[in-house]
Amino acid sequence: MKSRAIKLSLAGAALAAMVVVTSCAEKHPTAPKTDLVTLVGTGNVQVMVQQDTRTSGDSAIFVVSVVGNGVPVASYQGVLTFDPNAMSISQVPTPTGTTGEFRIVNAAEVASGTVRFAGFATEKFSNTEAFRLVGVFKPGKVPVNIVGKLDVAGETTGSSIRASSLKASNALRDLYSGMVVVR
Least confident of 29-33, 74-78, 117-121: 29-33
Asked if 123 and 75 touch (Cβ cutoff 8 Å), the reply is no
**Do 86 and 150 belong together in one domain?**
yes
For residue 24, give the H/E element and its range: helix 2-25
The torsion angles phi and psi of 35, rounded to 5 degrees, stand at -75, 110
What digits encode the pLDDT tens for the residues 36-55?
Answer: 777 888 899 999 999 888 87
Distance, CA of 77 to CA of 116 (rounded, Å): 8
Domain that holds residue 1: 1-30
Same domain, 178 and 102: yes
* Rounded Cα–Cα distance for residues 89 and 136 (Å): 6
67 and 136 inside one domain? yes
Taking only the tens place, the pLDDT of each residue in 146-177 is: 999 999 999 988 899 999 999 999 888 888 87
> Exposed, middle or buried: residue 143 (CB in 10 Å: 0-12, 13-18, 19+)?
buried
Q: State how many domains the chain has.
A: 2
26: confidence class by pLDDT, cuts 50, 70, 90:
very low
Give strand pairing partners of 117. 78, 105
Same domain for 166 and 110: yes
What does the mean pLDDT of the chain come to?
79
Tell me: do 51 and 18 sit in the same domain. Answer: no
CA distance 182 to 36: 16
Residue 19 backbone dihedrals phi, psi, to 5 degrees: -65, -45
How much is the pLDDT for 25? 33
The amino acid present at 124, given as its one-letter code, is K
19 in the same domain as 41: no
Per residue in 100-151, pLDDT tens?
899 999 989 999 999 999 999 998 888 899 999 998 888 877 656 899 999 9
User: What is the spatial distance between Cα 125 and Cα 30, in angstroms, rounded to a whole number?
Assistant: 25
**For the chain, what percent of residues have pLDDT higher than 90?**
42
Question: 3-class DSSP state for residue 17?
Answer: helix
* 75 and 156 inside one domain: yes
Residue 32's pLDDT is 38
Q: Is residue 31 scored above 50 in pLDDT?
A: no
pLDDT at 75: 96
- Check whether residue 9 and residue 77 sit in a common domain: no
pTM (2 decimals)? 0.77
**What pLDDT shows up at residue 27?**
35
Which residues, including other chains, have CB under 8 Å from residue 124's CB and lie 6 or more apart? 68, 72, 73, 74, 156
Residue 59 to residue 128: CA distance in whole angstroms = 23
